[in-house]
Amino acid sequence: MIDEAFMPFSEIIKKMIPTETEYFDEEAGVHSYIYEASIESPMELDVQWDDNGQLQIGSVPPLYYVDTTFKPSYHRISFTAEKNEDNAD
């Protein structure tokens, strides 16, 4: 099983997608929203086989923010979160 410090890959993606994406200024009568966000981040991976023979991809953003003597191996993920077509404009 994947290490408990790591989470399934789908969780990481969900957590990276911005949640507060609409901005209002009632006085100025302005309404803005994010229609596209490009996200790029280093991350650590823990790749393990589970009991059912399925490959599990565990992932986590960098755990250390300072230089250490024991450098983690940083893989890199990048993706674009795009506003769905059927959203209200």
Please report, for residues 17, 54, 82, the alpha-carbon distance to residue 46 in angstroms, rounded to integers and kept in the order given.
Answer: 21, 14, 28
Residue nearer to another protein on the CB measure, 22 or 25: 22
HSE-up (13 A, CA, CB side) for residue 7: 11
**Residues in Cβ contact with 22 at an 8 Å cutoff, skipping those fewer than 6 apart:** 31, 32, 33
Number of shown-chain residues binding another protein (CB under 8 A): 44
Which tokens sit at 45? 């991976």
To the nearest whole angstrom, how small is the minimum distance from the Cβ of residue 63 to another protein? 9
Does 30 help bind another protein (rule: CB under 8 A)?
no
Does 46 help bind another protein (rule: CB under 8 A)?
yes
Binding residues for another protein, per CB under 8 A?
Answer: 2-3, 5-6, 8-10, 13-14, 17-18, 21-22, 33-34, 37, 44-49, 54-58, 70-84, 87-88
